[in-house]
Amino acid sequence: MEDNAALIAALRKKAMGYTVNECTTEYDGEGNEIKNKVTVKEVPPDLSAIKMLLELEGKDEREPDEEELMAEKKKLLLQLGEIIKGEKNGTRKK
């Protein structure tokens, strides 16, 4: 589950865009460091990451299809039947 959360966080970062510090070091012929340069780069938001994130996060908010509605109806009717049967027998379940 932690891996999944890390993947979602990385996807969110890519979807939002981020800043990267890019370090460049130059050396002389003897291998001595002569110049160190840090460049700040802006990585723009990625449209495909935005789309994927919206699909993943919107998964729970979609409307159920006809088959899912019928299954939920059947389950609720069975539960209602058990409650009614329990009330008639005097052993009501909570």
> Residues 6 or more apart from 23 whose CB is under 8 A from it?
36, 37, 38, 39
pTM for the full model? 0.49
Identify whether the C-beta of residue 11 lies closer than 8 Å to the C-beta of residue 55. no
State the Cα–Cα distance between residues 56 and 60, nearest whole angstrom.
Answer: 8
Question: Which pLDDT value is given to residue 86?
Answer: 81
How confident is the prediction along the chain (94 residues), in pLDDT tens digits per residue?
577 889 999 999 999 999 999 999 999 989 899 999 999 999 999 999 999 998 887 765 567 789 989 999 999 999 988 888 888 777 655 5
